[in-house]
Amino acid sequence: MTTHRIGLVVPSSNVTVETEVPALLGRHPGARFSFHSSRMRMHKVSPEELRAMNAQRERCIDELSDAGVDAVLYACLVALMAQGHGEHRRTEAAVTEQFANAGQRPVVLSSAGALVEGLAALGARRIALVTPYLRPLAEQVVSYLESEGLEVLDWAALEVGDNAEVGCIPGERVMAAARGLDLSGADALVISACVQMPSLDLIGPAEAEFGIPVLSAATAGAFTLLRHLGLPTALPGAGRLLAAEQAAAR
């Protein structure tokens, strides 16, 4: 069985994506994965720290190129969405070029692009979402998604500015925020628009409660990694995006 090396570019204070994405891909019946991270310093989720974090990208990609990864996920959604519309495409192109200069051609993805792609795979155009961010950054995320052709019907910002604290947000608080949204007419709910806010235990219960597809930055990241590696995207217990019938429909 082939082992696929996955590179993760993560904020230094992030502890969730390195737990949730491996947990998801570890359920795959036909492939194995190893995970190799490079970290960018960031503590507060603020415009200034996000810009400073993004400036460390080239060092991280150099480190991951040394590991010979098969795919890389730039795993900080708001870091890209806060830089303006279309930033995930610009960043993915720049990372692809940097790898090419090192003679490598891994799959290059970002959490921001993965969420957009995951929603498109579900055929979702009208969405609701829960974010952990302070309201000004949450508004930028909403604007970014709308620039991608999505209609954000309702959204919640949990107003947590410390990235370490984002990783400790209780699931019940996230579910309470989701219950406060107007989901009438929504095609899908993004229950965690952040790879640091824990989501895996919420996907199944939220789909059962709300009756619509539920995804997160983590499940979208796993989906796009599998899809672009040419692997089946069906994973058990990960929601409709990664369900067998969803995989078969594409």
| Active-site residue set | 76, 194
Distances (CA, A) of 131 to 2, 137, 152, 227, 236: 36, 9, 13, 25, 25
